[in-house]
Structure 1
Amino acid sequence: MRPFFSKAIAMALFVLIPAFASATALDQLKSFSTNARSAKGEFSQGQVKGGDKARITNLASGTFIFSRPGKFIWTYKKPYEQVLQADGVNLYIYDKDLNQVTVKKLGNALGSSPAAILFGSNDLEKSFKLRNAGAHGGYEWVEAIPKTKDTPFEKINIGMKNGMPEAMELYDSLGQLSLIKFTKFTKNPPVSASTFKFVTPKGADVFRN
């Protein structure tokens, strides 16, 4: 790369870094929601147990890819293989061990769920009450409280860093806390519509709800 272009890119990065540093977590989330038409990456999740000596249990991990609105593939690879896939119309849940597919109408299923924040439309304030919730754990947090009561979650905290959602804290109605962390997050990779077309595995039992 020629020195001129190297200097130009470096200058552009120095311009962007203060912008993220000064933007609130809520500003970063809204910008991500508006500008991230697609994304892919890896995730890990678990349930937080205990207080001062908190530990993570029920660990799971896998990969994800999405294209707004309502198209995604969320793949669990550990501890067992399961795929949640949506084509914008239907949601397919495939359990590899059972070789079983459950099909549901997507409809408003995303609603006020954590998935809506990543995969839904960019109108987050239609479904959530949003506010900045300070910093901890290396992230700037946004608190999202669902406006509808028809959801298992009391609130969802989104951890923002450098303009990207890198963590989620999910507080359910039973007082349980789950933590999701995202890595290798790539914004706006090229994604074709056919990527999200679900193909039923050979011999799988299919159930429609």
Structure 2
Amino acid sequence: MVTFWVGALLGFSVLAQTPNADALNSLSLFLKQTQSGRAQFTQVVTSPAKADQAPRRKTSSGTFEFHRPQQFRFSYQKPFVQTMVSDGQSLWLYDADLNQVTVRKQSQALGQTPAAFIASTGDLKVLQAEFNLLTEPDTEGLQWVKATPKQSEGAVQTIRVGLKVQGQAIPVLSVLEIVDGLGQTSRLSFQNFEVNAKLTPETFQFKAPPGAQVIRP
């Protein structure tokens, strides 16, 4: 199935003793001014190292689109065809190899997940109700915000958001880095991010392919 939804102590180096408020301002601007978007992405999932094994990495790629509030589509193209679609009411997960569709109520499936940063809200205060937000030092040419869910029993330990600011009229989402409850790290790097892309309603509609098994947990 799609690996996207699947902790270090919060702290900074000596160079980061003064918080970078600009990173929170940039996140706030991104949320307010980006109502839709489209991009290509590369995802690298790294499993924790074991005593007798080095960390394992899996790479996938595809396209991503979203429209606030609460609509998005992840279309994984390599190495396997998988699709995740949110229409605002339901979350659809389609695995082409299994010819299987899993459908859940969106309100129950998303919760405190990376989707909250992308599609659910345009208000930083709403996000702060669900996450503790801390700034981190600028690296990789990006401004960074680290988020920790306030409900610790969730599937996500931390989320790091990397925003490209230089040369941009509106801050652009460049990286999402998620650490799940098992210590697995998923890093999504976005390319060719199109801010406020014109997307049709059909983009966020999903119809199960003929013959596909539909599971409603």
Cα distance, 1:75 vs. partner? 0.8
Tell me, in whole angstroms, the C-alpha distance in 2 between the residues paired with 1:202 and 1:69.
Answer: 29
Counterpart residue number, 2:159: 156
TM-superposed deviation, 1:125: 1.1
Which amino acid is 1:190 matched to? K
Partner of 2:130: 127
Amino acid of the structure 2 residue aligned with 1:205: Q
Helix, strand or coil at the partner of 2:203: helix
**Once superposed, what is the RMSD of the aligned Cα atoms?**
2.1
Is the Cα contact below 8 Å between 2:48 and 2:184 reproduced in 1? no
Deviations 1:115-140 (A, max 9, x none): 21112122211211112111222321
Task: Specify whether residues 34 and 108 from structure 1 end up closer, same or farther in structure 2 by C-alpha distance, changes over 3 A only.
Answer: farther
> Aligned partners of 1:157 and 1:73: how far apart in 2?
21
Write the letter of the residue equivalent to 1:103.
V
The CA deviation at 1:78 is: 0.8
8 Å contact from structure 1 (residues 170, 177) kept in 2: yes
CA distance in 2, matches of 1:56, 1:182: 22
Distance (whole Å) between structure 2 residues aligned to residue 142 and residue 56 of structure 1: 26
- SS of aligned partner of 2:28: helix
Q: Please report how far the alpha carbon of residue 55 of structure 1 lies from its aligned counterpart in structure 2 after TM superposition.
A: 7.8
TM-score (norm 2): 0.79
Distance 2:55 2:190 in 1: 18
Write the distance in 2 (CA, Å) between the matches of 1:109 and 1:49: 23
**Mapping 1:174-185, distance limit 5 Å:** 174-185=182-193
Give 3-state SS (helix, strand or coil) of 1:107's partner.
Answer: helix
Alpha-carbon distance between aligned partners in 2 of 1:93 and 1:177, rounded to the nearest angstrom: 21
Match of 1:145 in 2: 148
Tell me, in whole angstroms, the C-alpha distance in 2 between the residues paired with 1:135 and 1:128: 20
Aligned residues of 2:144 and 2:163 also touching (Cα < 8 A): yes
Find the counterpart in structure 2 of residue 189 from structure 1: 197
What aligned pairs does 1:1-209 form with structure 2 within 5 A after superposition?
24-48=22-46, 57-122=57-122, 123-162=126-165, 163-209=171-217
Task: Tell me the amino acid that sits aligned with residue 42 of structure 1.
Answer: Q
Structure 1: distance between partners of 2:48 and 2:106: 35
TM-score normalized by structure 1? 0.82
CA contact (8 A) 2:48 2:183 kept: no
Q: Distance in 1 between matches of 2:140 and 2:31?
A: 22
Larger Rg: 1
Aligned residues between the structures? 186
Consecutive unaligned residues in structure 1, runs of 5 or more: 1-21
Contact 1:112 1:146 in 2 (8 A): yes
Question: Residues of 1 paired with 2:68 and 2:191: CA distance?
Answer: 19
- Secondary structure (helix, strand or coil) at the match of 2:107 reads coil
Q: Which amino acid is 1:130 matched to?
A: L
Pairwise CA distance, 1:100: 1.1
CA contact (8 A) 1:46 1:56 kept: no
Greater relative contact order (Cα < 8 A, sep 6+)? 2
For 1:158, the aligned partner's letter is: V
Task: Measure the CA separation in 2 of the matches of 1:136 and 1:50.
Answer: 23
Structure-2 change in CA distance of 1:108 and 1:27 (3 Å): farther
Name the CA shift for 1:50/1:175 in 2 (closer, same or farther; >3 Å).
Answer: closer
Alignment check: 8 A CA contact 2:65 2:74 kept:
yes
Q: Any conservation in 2 of the 1:29–1:164 contact (CA below 8 Å)?
A: no
